[in-house]
């Protein structure tokens, strides 16, 4: 079981892996236009912030270092989302961020199905609000899933750890 530092380091690692994967996926679309994934820093920084938040998310139901760090990163990420006019993502992040206080520690936040269901509003609600681009929330959802996977992986819940 990892402590909060392990979860932060693990979620950053998983976040970087996710950014590499998504940059390769987007490279197919952006290269013909002479752009690249990191031409604007707001998007990858937002995705990395979401990955770290969801890497800490399952442990924020207790008064701990992880909770303090989570809400510190949460505020910075939320301010970043607001500053870059991503109001819908900011509101969704706020809703999801409040959920763990409604349960006991190691309750539903540590279930395997939570990996896919907890971040689901990041995918579903933007699709409902913007039918012209139904996968608008997919990159944010993917970042949240990668962060959540990192947490359950380093807690030894998801599957046996490859390292450590």
What does the pLDDT look like over 132-144, one tens digit per residue?
A: 777 778 888 999 9
CA atoms within 13 A of residue 64's CA, in its CB half-sphere: 16
Higher-confidence residue: 113 or 36? Answer: 113
What does the pLDDT look like over 55-86, one tens digit per residue?
A: 988 887 777 787 888 788 778 888 888 998 88
The gap between the terminal CA atoms of the chain, to the nearest Å, is: 10
Q: What is the pTM of this model?
A: 0.76
With b for 16 or more beta-carbon neighbours within 10 A and e for fewer, the 71-86 pattern comes to: eebbeebbebbeebeb
Check pLDDT > 80 for residue 2.
no
Query: Can you give the pLDDT at residue 35?
Result: 52
Q: What is the DSSP string of 2-66?
A: --HHHHHHHHHHHHHHHHHHHHHHHHHHHGGGT--GGGSSHHHHHHHHHHHHHHHGGGTTSSSHH
CB 119 within 8 A of CB 148: yes
18 falls in which pLDDT band (50, 70, 90)?
very high
Query: Can you give the pLDDT at residue 150?
Result: 93
């Amino acid at each position: 079981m990892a402590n909060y530092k392990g979860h932060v380091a693990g979620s950053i690692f998983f976040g970087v892996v996710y950014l590499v994967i998504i940059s390769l996926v987007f490279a197919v679309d952006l290269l013909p236009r002479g752009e690249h994934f990191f031409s604007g820093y707001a998007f990858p920084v937002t995705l990395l912030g979401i990955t770290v938040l969801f890497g800490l998310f399952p442990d924020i139901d207790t008064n701990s270092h992880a909770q303090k760090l989570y809400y510190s990163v949460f505020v910075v990420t939320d301010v970043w989302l607001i500053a870059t006019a991503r109001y819908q993502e900011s509101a969704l992040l706020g809703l999801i961020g409040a959920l763990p206080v409604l349960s006991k520690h190691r309750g539903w936040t540590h279930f395997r199905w939570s990996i896919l269901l907890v971040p689901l509003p990041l995918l579903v609600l933007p699709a409902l609000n913007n039918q012209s681009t139904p996968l608008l929330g997919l990159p944010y959802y993917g970042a949240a899933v990668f962060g959540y996977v990192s947490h359950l992986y380093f807690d030894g819940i998801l599957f046996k750890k490859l390292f450590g």
